[in-house]
Amino acid sequence: MQGTIATFDQASRSGTLLLDDGTELAFQAPAFDASGLRKLRLGQRVDIDADDAGSVRQVRIPGIA
């Protein structure tokens, strides 16, 4: 699944993203921490790994493992 970063708080390492269908989805610090990234910028495209309940487990840059 892919989306676009809508908000990101560097201090809390959490934010929201917009899925391609327009749905807003929140992610928490553990999902960001699992990515290995140091920061995200607004409008950045990301791949999302979510569990069966729809909770985001990881956000990552497309094409980067």
pLDDT at 37: 83
Q: Is pLDDT above 70 for 65? A: no
pLDDT of residue 3: 92
- Tell me if 58 sits within 8 A of 34, measured CB to CB: yes
Q: Is the pLDDT of residue 63 over 80?
A: no
Going by C-beta distance under 8 Å and a sequence separation of 6 or more, which residues neighbour residue 2?
A: 19, 20, 45, 46, 47, 48, 62
Note the pLDDT tens digit of each residue in 11-59.
Answer: 999 999 999 899 999 999 999 988 888 889 999 999 998 888 888 888 8
